[in-house]
Structure 1
């Protein structure tokens, strides 16, 4: 199996207008869109953003009749403590092949909102990492932890600051990821647009030193032009740390493939 992009958004996400057919111009053997599930989302006027599962199923059925690609159902789940029961109720009624876990917001603001610039950056980072650790203790239905540094994107952290101030919190998070046999995502939007490759250069060996083995690459594309963005660069970084395999998830199965 050739590795495929496991973090993509389409018009079924509140922040994308992309159509499936444009992604399929890349002729992927496997395709999975991971559209947003974020309840009470401050990034969208506190609406509940829930993918239209029926529309997804109908669309994939139509595409399967016209493309040789194998289509999978995916979702990116943003979790705020207290929402777990509602999210689980939805997931129990709507089966997905791939589920990403993300921390985007805390019920009051998104960690990318301007409000974070008015607060102490260390307090925001502590809040973000504590929320992530709590969610990993209370929400169990995901295979990949995405963009670990999402909550730091507006705050200009260095690897040295993470090591000095938050290695304890990050080690706790990574141990939980390992215990649950989840994968750690290397996120292209983080790596490139937000210029946080240096933070991944810090966290990859930390994760590996704790026993972490599973890595994924995700473009986090919201338009087809970003499909598999920066995959060679991100794969190159993993190889620097003697990591030579990626993992792909399909329901309860893992598939391993050599780094591209």
Structure 2
């Protein structure tokens, strides 16, 4: 299998206007959009951001008749502790082939909001990692943990600081990811735009040392021009640590692909 992007957003996300057809100009053999699901979202005036499932199903049905691509339904689920039942109730009625797990916000602020700049960065990072660890215990069914560094993007952390202050927390998180047979995403926006490649250079061997083997690459694209952004560079980093394959999730099955 040729690897394909497993983290993409379309007009079904609150923060994207992109249409499916523009992504499909890349002629992928497989395609999955993973639009945002975030309840009580501080990033959007505390609205419940829930992608329109019926519109997604209708759109994919239309595309299947006009493209040779195989389509899957995907979703990126932002979880705040206490929301698990409501989210699972929704997912039980709206089945998805790929579910990404993300920590974006804590019910009061998004970890990318300016307010984090007024707080102690170590306290914010601890809050973020504690939330991630708890959610990994209480939320089930996701296949990929996305952008582990999302809560650090505004805080200017070095890999040395993570090792010194948070390695115990990160080992706990990674062990939970491994136990749940989830994959760890290398995220292009983090890697490039937010200049956190050094944090991935730290987390990849740590995850591997604990027995982690499942990796994905995700562009986190919100426009088609960013489809598979930085895949060669991120794949190159994985190869430095003797990682030679990626994992793709299709419905309840897991497939392996060589690094691009």
TM bucket (normalised to shorter chain) is over 0.9
* Cα distance, 1:252 vs structure 2: 1.3
Question: Partners of 2:149 and 2:111 in 1: how far apart?
Answer: 10
Aligned residue for 1:117, secondary structure, equals helix
Q: Secondary structure of 2:43's match?
A: helix
- Note the alpha carbon deviations across 1:29-51, whole angstroms, 9 max, x for none: 00000000000000000000001
Residue equivalent to 2:107 = 107
Distance 1:141 1:257 in 2: 22
1:166 is aligned to 2:175: no
For 1:139, the equivalent position in structure 2 comes to 139
Matches within 5 A, 1:82-161: 82-161=82-161
Query: 1:7, 1:220 → 2: CA distance?
Result: 5
Partner of 1:178: 178
Structure 2, unaligned runs of 5 or more: none
How many angstroms apart in 2 are the aligned matches of 1:120 and 1:109? 15
For the residue of structure 2 that corresponds to 1:131, the secondary structure is helix
Partner of 1:67 in structure 2?
67
RMSD: 0.3
Q: Which runs of 5+ in 1 are unaligned?
A: none
In structure 2, C-alpha distance between the alignment counterparts of 1:175 and 1:251, rounded to whole Å = 24
- Superposed CA deviations along residues 88-114 of structure 1, whole A, max 9, x for unmatched, are 000000000000000000000000000
Partners of 1:130 and 1:31 lie apart in 2 by 33
Deviation at 1:145, TM superposition (A): 0.1
| TM-score normalised per structure 2 | 1.00
Distance 1:178 1:54 in 2: 33
In 1, Cα distance between the equivalents of 2:141 and 2:93?
A: 13
- The question of 1:48 aligning with 2:48 is answered yes
| Residue correspondences, number | 260
CA drift of 1:251 comes to 1.6
Matched, 1:231 2:231: yes
CA positional deviation for 1:141 = 1.4
Secondary structure of the corresponding residue to residue 147 of structure 2: coil
Counterpart-to-counterpart distance in 2, 1:106 and 1:197: 25
* SS of corresponding position for 1:71: strand
**Separation in structure 2 between the aligned mates of residue 94 and residue 216 of structure 1, nearest angstrom:** 24
What CA distance in whole angstroms lies between the structure 1 residues aligned with 2:31 and 2:6?
A: 8
**Quick one: distance in 2 between partners of 1:137 and 1:198?**
27
Structure 1-normalised TM-score?
1.00
